[in-house]
A and B are shown apart, each in its own frame.
Chain A
Amino acid sequence: MDSVKKSWVFRITIAWFALIAFFAIFGPWLPLPKWDQVFDDALSVTPFKQGHILGTDSNGYDIFSGVVYGARISLFISFTAVFVGGTIGSAIGITAAYVRGKFDYVVSTLFNVVLSIPNLVLSLALIAVLATNVDPNVPTSTGRRIMVLVISLTIVIIPILGRIARAATLSWSNREFVLAARSMGSNDRNIIWRHIVPNVLPAIFAVAFLAIGVVIVAEASLSLLGAGVPDGTSWGSMVARGRNDIEFAPHIIIIPLVCIAFTVIACNYIGDVIRKQLDQRQAKL
């Protein structure tokens, strides 16, 4: 673990997370123009010109502000979806694996069915159902759109982490120390909370980080399809707005894409580090 902590990759990763967290939390208070402030005299400006660090897009929006404000939405959506989805999924998965029998059968079938639907298709379908009002002429509010986005991505995550939780629980609940706890008179609730959950959590965490990456990309894809956040900005919607300008102002989409890519790579790396730590510990057992 120490060798990892000292490595450059680890430090850069932590630095990146710190940076985007900073943006996400303190963004609105930074001395920056709002993301949708129009600079008429500076359209599609390349970085470092005319006072715009990362340039502007074809609407005149400052890209750096976009990155800062976008971090907020992207991270909010992905963390919420993974946290809520992970908790629900893990709860279901752990219970199913512990109880076994018909409940487990139903749960794993459900998980498999939902997992077999591609993320994007699933979330689009959910958004379409949940976000449209009965009267097609009334646009849905931003708040509702965001909530629907988060809900649909949460539903995508539930079986992903649920399956991991279930598999881990299956393996841990067969260990002899669980049998020993039962023979001592421990009830199921205690066994699950004291023995199973602490041992299963690391495996879930490792995949949870990967899931954050998945959701960020999913949200970006949804924005590209127009199903994302309408009234705010996320990295995905920045890409969506800039896709027509690839030919002559590629920086408009490259910058948000780089943000997305860095974050996903960082998440994957941390998830991998956790997994390796886990494997090492398992090896000692």
Chain B
Amino acid sequence: MTTTFDGNTAHLRPSEQTLLQIKDLVVEFDLGGGRVVKAVSNVSLDLVEGETLSIVGESGCGKSTLGKAILQLPAPTSGSIVFQGTDITKLSKKDLRNVRPAMQMIFQDPVSSLDPRFPVSRAVEEPLKIWNRGNEMERSAKVDELLNSVGLDPALVRDRRPYEFSGGQCQRISIARALALEPKLLICDEPVSALDVSVQAQILNLLQDMKEAYGLTLIFISHDLAVVKAVSTRIMVMYLGKVCEIATPDELYSNPKHHYTSALVGSVPVPDPERKISATLLEGEPPSPLDPPSGCRFRTRCPAATELCATEEPMLRLAADGHYVACHHPRD
């Protein structure tokens, strides 16, 4: 069963408008012995400058792999990634390196994102040193500026090591470091998942502030639907390496068209004792990405699956204004 090349791109906007356009991205890992992990399968997405696109899904859906593949860490198996007009998958090592300052990433584990032996000033200065931006004094001033903008007092933190800080503070340091090269695109891979609840809000607010201050475009990867709602312009739901649905947050949560999205939304615990436990409880476990189901990958757990779903893979189609869903029998 082959998928046509332009099949899953209904949701893409004209390429002149976009900062980033990804077409048919495939990331597969060969484990040897004929076993291949199909982590990301024919995913297309795009970003307009100033947007925040969130990618949500549960473990094994490929969202983290997707984020890293955009940065070519490691390079995807196939597909095109057009960033600022250039297909970066086709670039030489040297040219790719030159693009890197424009796309940066922050990671899930705040503490292991920082070299434990580097004092904070050195960690934040590192990108500037790599690219020889300014002399020592200028770099030091920039480091102070960055630390201030993420809410840390340079005098207090400059010489200390990561283990002396809390998770939230480490994440701030990582953000400062990521912003050192003034990137256009910032990919946030589960940036608040490892943090305490009350700290999450601080970091989310910080990201919003930085986005405005530095004119960033964000890709926000998370498994937490509620967190994602607060920060996104658009949300993309992934399941087992495929895109299920894309819509604006309000539209997605009030009117989920894909059965997986609706189960996901229904499973989020709500701090309201009057709310009945949702009946759309998903049974079973996700299948292995080594051997995903044929046709629609969600069909093994979908209440609305039919024979068609096993033979033909659904493509993303327009369901409502700005709302695309990949399902043969979307919810009304």
Whether chain A touches chain B in the assembled complex (some CB pair under 8 Å): yes
Taking beta carbons and an 8 Å cutoff, which residues of A are in contact with B? 175-177, 179-187, 190, 195, 198-199, 281, 284-285
> With A185-B97, A199-B116 given, can you name 4 additional A-B contacts, CB distance below 8 Å?
A180-B113, A186-B126, A186-B130, A285-B111
B112 within 8 A of A: yes
User: Does the CB pair B107–A179 fall under 8 Å?
Assistant: yes
User: Does the CB pair A183–B112 fall under 8 Å?
Assistant: no
Q: How far, in whole Å, are A285 and B162 apart by their CA atoms in the complex? A: 8
A-B CB proximity, top 4 nearest:
A185-B100, A284-B163, A176-B107, A184-B127
6 A-B pairs with C-beta separation under 8 A: A176-B112, A183-B71, A190-B130, A195-B115, A281-B116, A285-B163
Q: How far, in whole Å, are A195 and B112 apart by their CA atoms in the complex? A: 12
User: Does the CB pair A183–B113 fall under 8 Å?
Assistant: no
Given contacts A284-B163, A285-B162, contact A183 B114 (CB under 8 A): no
> How many interface residues does chain B have, given as a range?
20 to 34
Q: How far, in whole Å, are A142 and B117 apart by their CA atoms in the complex? A: 46
Residues of A contacting B68 with CB < 8 Å?
179
Q: How far, in whole Å, are A284 and B162 apart by their CA atoms in the complex? A: 9
Taking beta carbons and an 8 Å cutoff, which residues of B are in contact with A? 68, 71, 73, 97-98, 100-101, 103-105, 107-109, 111-117, 126-127, 130-131, 162-163, 174, 177, 181
Q: How far, in whole Å, are A281 and B161 apart by their CA atoms in the complex? A: 11
Contact partner of B130 among A176, A179, A185, A198, CB < 8 A?
A185
Minimum Cβ distance to chain B for residue A227 (Å)? 43
Given contacts A185-B97, A185-B131, contact A177 B163 (CB under 8 A): no
Residues of A contacting B126 with CB < 8 Å?
181, 184, 186
Residues of A contacting B111 with CB < 8 Å?
285
User: Does the CB pair B127–A175 fall under 8 Å?
Assistant: no
Residues of B contacting A187 with CB < 8 Å?
97
User: Does the CB pair A177–B127 fall under 8 Å?
Assistant: no
User: Does the CB pair B104–A183 fall under 8 Å?
Assistant: yes
Residues of B contacting A185 with CB < 8 Å?
97-98, 100-101, 127, 130-131
User: Does the CB pair A198–B117 fall under 8 Å?
Assistant: yes
Minimum Cβ distance to chain B for residue A189 (Å)? 12
Q: How far, in whole Å, are A198 and B115 apart by their CA atoms in the complex? A: 10
User: Does the CB pair A183–B116 fall under 8 Å?
Assistant: no
Q: How far, in whole Å, are A88 and B104 apart by their CA atoms in the complex? A: 36
Task: Name the CB-closest residue of B to A202.
Answer: B117
Q: How far, in whole Å, are A190 and B129 apart by their CA atoms in the complex? A: 11
Residues of B contacting A176 with CB < 8 Å?
107-109, 112-113
Task: Name the CB-closest residue of B to A196.
Answer: B115
Residues of B contacting A182 with CB < 8 Å?
73
Minimum Cβ distance to chain B for residue A163 (Å)? 23
Minimum Cβ distance to chain B for residue A182 (Å)? 6
Most B C-beta atoms less than 10 A away, residue of A175, A183, A185: A183
Q: How far, in whole Å, are A179 and B177 apart by their CA atoms in the complex? A: 13
Residues of B contacting A195 with CB < 8 Å?
115
Residues of B contacting A179 with CB < 8 Å?
68, 73, 105, 107
Minimum Cβ distance to chain B for residue A275 (Å)? 17
Q: How far, in whole Å, are A190 and B131 apart by their CA atoms in the complex? A: 12
Task: Name the CB-closest residue of B to A182.
Answer: B73
Most B C-beta atoms less than 10 A away, residue of A176, A184, A199, A281: A184
Q: How far, in whole Å, are A210 and B177 apart by their CA atoms in the complex? A: 39
User: Does the CB pair B130–A177 fall under 8 Å?
Assistant: no
Minimum Cβ distance to chain A for residue B105 (Å)? 5
User: Does the CB pair B115–A199 fall under 8 Å?
Assistant: yes
Q: How far, in whole Å, are A145 and B177 apart by their CA atoms in the complex? A: 55
Q: How far, in whole Å, are A166 and B126 apart by their CA atoms in the complex? A: 25
Minimum Cβ distance to chain A for residue B165 (Å)? 11
Minimum Cβ distance to chain A for residue B24 (Å)? 23
Residues of A contacting B116 with CB < 8 Å?
199, 281, 285
Task: Name the CB-closest residue of A to B115.
Answer: A177
Given contacts A183-B100, A186-B130, contact A177 B112 (CB under 8 A): yes
